[in-house]
Amino acid sequence: MNTPKTEIAISGFEAAASARDTPLAPMPSEQALRIAIVTETYPPEINGVAMTLGRLIHGLRQQGHSIQVVRPRQPSDSPNTPQDSSEILVRGIPIPRYSGLQFGLPAGRRLHAAWRSNPPDIVHVVTEGPLGLSAVKVARKLGLPMTSSFHTNFHRYSNHYGFGGLRGIIAAHLRKMHNRTAATFVPTQALAAELGADGFKNLRVMARGVDTALYSPARRSESLRQQWGLSEQDLAVLYVGRLAAEKNLRVVVEAFNAIVARRPDAKLIFVGDGPMTEKLKQQCPNAIFCGSRRGEDLAAHYASGDLFLFPSLTETFGNVTTEALASGLCVLAYAHAAAAEVISSGDNGVTVPAGDEIAYIDAACMLASHPERLHAIRAHAAPSMQHFDWRLIVDTFANTLISVVTHHPRRQHGTNDIVLASD
């Protein structure tokens, strides 16, 4: 088997410490890009992809880049609100059994007309639904530079949503689509290796940052813990994220049942919403369901917990892992995605082999039964996140886009004319 071509955009965060106190400088005018970003999800939607994208776009605009967002309409969008050139809104439909996300419908004709008359310097495709695929085809036909991101394991999700038989077809679609772009950003080294072995090319590892000013142990709230019925000495076992089958929540429930047999003072708190909410309420009648939370309210919910259970095996990264660590929680996760790369097990969190449920439950019981060990790990969690600065991630992303544009044939030939290409 050929060694996959994987280029590392970020392999560490040592440089971020010096960058933290340095404002982002605007890009020189000759390097300021016009970037079209195509995505099926966007703030204020609550998910890791939307959050990450919001951060990147904010940082890119601070650097002086011009951003055009192509996305489906959301319920918060007024149909009478006039659009400007910074947005192209298209129709979308909910993903079956996953109404929190939607596919954008193909918009090839509209994008062709918009980009032929006013071409961006580069197109970045965030999601792989019909909208993203149509954007790739149009950009390819017009000869525009393209990059993409691999955020969501849809081929893994398929087993949880009744179309597992299509997993191979979905994987082939993702591979073909991403390989048509000059670079595909992935969040971890492990995912780059996995995708590279599956035939994905031109991969760039770009980790995700965490807002350590927002997510901080300083947000811990005694009044919120009292609302949960907990004193400072009691154990708050937290899960934050979508309440859905692919998150492996059965292991959360089983681990907590084992914990409470040893620590009757423990309380299970779910922060988030999703299709499994009612089922979980039946399974866990004494648990607290907080629903979806945002901003400082979400940060207070994180920081007011003690032990964070996150046994998902479908994440490409898992932003909640770094948010929980930054908030001062002891994170227990499988050695997968972000947890495998940011947790030093036994120091700033605990990881067990991916898929080993017995080890996971045993580790949960060990942490619950040894408060001094739990507190020692919590004390190391937040400091370990101080180098994950979003500004470094934005710099790396922007520099990669500039490199792709600089080395694209249109720029090499010294022309901005549209060059039609066969699809």
Q: Spell out the CATH class of 6-209+389-412.
A: alpha beta
Q: What is the pLDDT of residue 316?
A: 85
Q: Quote the CA–CA distance of 207 and 345 in Å, as a whole number.
A: 19
CATH 3.40.50.2000 intervals, the chain: 6-209+389-412, 217-385
Q: Mean pLDDT score of the chain, rounded to an integer?
A: 86
Token digits of residue 44 = 């204020």
Q: What is the pLDDT of residue 45?
A: 87
Instruction: List CB contacts of 234: < 8 A, sequence separation 6 or more.
Output: 225, 265, 266, 267
Calculate the alpha carbon distances from 66 to 36, 108, 384 in Å: 9, 22, 34
pLDDT tens across 241-300, in order? Answer: 999 988 999 999 999 999 999 999 999 999 999 999 999 999 999 999 999 999 999 999
Q: What is the pLDDT of residue 169?
A: 81
Q: Tell me the CATH architecture of domain 217-385.
A: 3-Layer(aba) Sandwich (3.40)
Q: What is the pLDDT of residue 423?
A: 39
Token digits of residue 325 = 């660590």
Instruction: State the amino acid at position 63 in one-letter form.
Output: Q
Q: What is the pLDDT of residue 7?
A: 41
The residue among 391, 397, 381 whose CA lies nearest residue 13 is 391
Residues of the chain with pLDDT under 50: 1-29, 155-158, 160-164, 417-423
Q: What is the pLDDT of residue 166?
A: 60
Spell out a b/e string for 347-369, using b for 16 or more CB atoms within 10 Å of the CB, else e.
ebbbbbebeeeeebbebbbebbe
Torsion of CA 110, 114, 117, 118, to 10 degrees: -170
User: Cis before residue 119, ω within 30 degrees of 0?
Assistant: no
> 257-265 long-range CB contacts below 8 Å, 24 or more apart?
258/361, 258/364, 258/365, 259/235, 259/307, 259/364, 259/365, 259/368, 262/365, 262/368, 262/369, 263/235, 263/368, 263/369, 265/230, 265/233, 265/234, 265/235
Sheet with 203-205: list strands edge to edge.
Answer: 6-8, 203-205, 184-186, 146-149, 122-125, 34-38, 66-72, 87-90
